């Protein structure tokens, strides 16, 4: 096996590895996006629940009103905490998307190098074209 063919085989293996890395990055990005969506949904639901309880006017005495107020306050605390976690999840999801973009760029670069090397190997494998018949006579003929 020639050096050019060895280089091509190595580039093809590297391209496969980069494709696997890209797939792993895509999986991680999808999981991060899923986590973000879940946290956003939880935050919205908790906020909606807090608003619904805060709007209630069926308290019969001060103790009930105080208890509902504490419950609503607890829900709002959970909402703020969840919003913070969602923001961290957004940062993680953005980072995972960037890693996916980088993985695709690295895979594409190796693919281009492998294609160029394949052209080199193919060009060297072709039989050289031998010159045709020699022309005889003068150019005037």
What is the pLDDT tens value at each position of the chain, 141 positions in all? 789 899 999 999 999 999 999 999 999 999 999 999 999 999 999 999 999 988 988 888 889 889 999 999 999 999 999 999 999 999 999 999 999 999 999 999 999 999 999 999 888 888 666 655 666 666 665
Task: Return d(Cα 66, Cα 63) in angstroms, integer.
Answer: 5
Put residue 137 in one of left, alpha, beta given phi > 0 → left and psi -120 to 50 → alpha.
Answer: left
Going through the chain in order, the beta strands assigned E by DSSP cover none
* Domain architecture of the chain: domains with CATH: 3-124 (1.10.287)
Helix then strand count (H, E) for the chain reads 2, 0
Both tokens of residue 33? 């996006």
Nearby residues of 2 by Cβ (< 8 Å), 6 or more positions away: 121, 124
> How much is the pTM?
0.72
Q: What's the confidence (pLDDT) of residue 1? A: 75
Q: What's the confidence (pLDDT) of residue 56? A: 86
Q: What's the confidence (pLDDT) of residue 119? A: 92
Q: What's the confidence (pLDDT) of residue 59? A: 81
Q: What's the confidence (pLDDT) of residue 125? A: 81
């Amino acid at each position: 096996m020639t050096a050019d063919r060895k280089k091509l085989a190595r580039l093809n293996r590297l391209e496969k590895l980069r494709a696997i890395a890209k797939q792993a990055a895509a999986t991680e990005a999808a999981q991060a996006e899923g986590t973000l969506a879940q946290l956003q949904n939880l935050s919205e639901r908790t906020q909606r629940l807090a608003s619904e309880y805060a709007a209630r006017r069926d308290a019969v005495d001060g103790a009930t009103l105080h208890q509902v107020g504490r419950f609503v306050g607890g829900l709002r605390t959970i909402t703020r905490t969840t919003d913070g976690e969602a923001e961290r999840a957004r940062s993680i999801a953005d980072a995972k998307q960037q890693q996916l973009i980088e993985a695709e760029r690295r895979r594409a670069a190796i693919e281009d190098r492998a294609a160029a090397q394949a052209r080199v190997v193919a060009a060297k494998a072709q039989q050289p074209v031998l010159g045709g018949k020699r022309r005889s006579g003068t150019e005037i003929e």
